[in-house]
Amino acid sequence: MDQISNSDPRKTSTGTEKPLGKGATRSVLLWWIALLIALFAILGMHTFMNTTY
């Protein structure tokens, strides 16, 4: 079992999972975009509340 897990190409020498190809970078980009949208939405709601009340 150890030999199989060690020869896994997805894992680096340290044993941590290495992101593969464009799919991983795209998912990271999507995550950042979602985070920014949420941040702007929260900030927008704060300013909207401050102007209305």
pLDDT tens-digit map of 26-41: 889 999 999 999 999 9
Q: Is residue 36 part of a domain?
A: yes
Q: Is residue 39 part of a domain?
A: yes
pTM (two decimals): 0.43
First to last CA, the chain: 63
Inter-residue contact 20 to 10 (CB < 8 Å): yes
More confident residue, 50 or 3: 50
What is the dihedral angle through the alpha carbons of 2, 5, 15, 20, rounded to the nearest 10 degrees?
170
Q: Is residue 24 part of a domain?
A: yes
pLDDT bin (cut points 50, 70, 90) of residue 48 is: confident
What is the number of domains present in the chain? Answer: 1
pLDDT per position as a tens digit, 7-25? 556 555 555 566 566 777 8
Judged against a pLDDT cut of 60, whether residue 5 lies above it is answered with no
Q: What is the extent of the structural domain holding 32?
A: 20-53
